[in-house]
Amino acid sequence: MPSVTMRRRKVLVLALASFAAAGVTLAASARHVWAQQPPPPKPPPAAALVVNAEVMVLYATTVPGPGSIDPAIGKMPQLTKPPFSVFNTYRLLDKKVISLELGKSGPYTLPNGRILQVTFIEPTTEKRFHIKVAINQPGGNGSYLKLLEVTAEPNEPFFVAGQPYKDGVLVLGISLRS
C-alpha cells in the first residue's frame, strides 16, 4: 500500500498539473481576447504648418516734383531710403494674401504677366520663416528672378524690385505672418 507521503506527492503533482493546465488555458484565452481587441486609435495628423505671405504690388515711378506714396500702402519708411528713394511716386496696384503650407508653393500672377512663386521651406528656431521666391515668364518660358532665398521675420516686409512695368518698375513688398 502506498504511503501517506506518496499519496500526498501524487495529489500535489496532480494539483500542480491542473494549475499549469489552467494557466495555459487562461493565457491562451487572454491572447485570444487581446487579439480580438481593436487596435488603439491612430493619433490625429499634425496640423499643417501654414504661413501667410502678404504680397503688395507697388508701381514705382519718378515724376516731376515731390511725388507721393499712395496712402493705401501705409507706412513703409523703406520706400523713402535708397535704393527705393530713386523713385518718388509709389502706387498700390494690388494686395493679396497667399496661404503657404510647409514645402508648398503659392503662385501669383503679376500685372506684367509674370508669375511670382513663393515657397515656404521651413520655420527657423528664431521664429523666422525660410522661404524661396522666384519670378517666371508666363508659360514657364525662362525666368526673371531664378531663385531668391530669404529668412524673414514675421510682419517685417522684404522687397523684390526691378521688373519693368509701363514707365516705371514693379516693387513687391512681401510680409510673412503665421
* Mean pLDDT for all residues in the chain: 80
115-154 burial: b if 16+ Cβ within 10 Å, else e:
bbbbbbeeeeeeebbebebbbbeeeeeeebbeeeebebee
Give the predicted TM-score (pTM) of the model.
0.70
The model's pLDDT over 26-67, given as tens digits with 9 standing for 90+, comes to 444 444 544 566 666 554 444 568 999 999 999 999 999 999
Q: Where are the domains of the chain?
A: 1-37, 50-177
The model's pLDDT over 76-102, given as tens digits with 9 standing for 90+, comes to 999 999 999 999 999 999 999 999 999
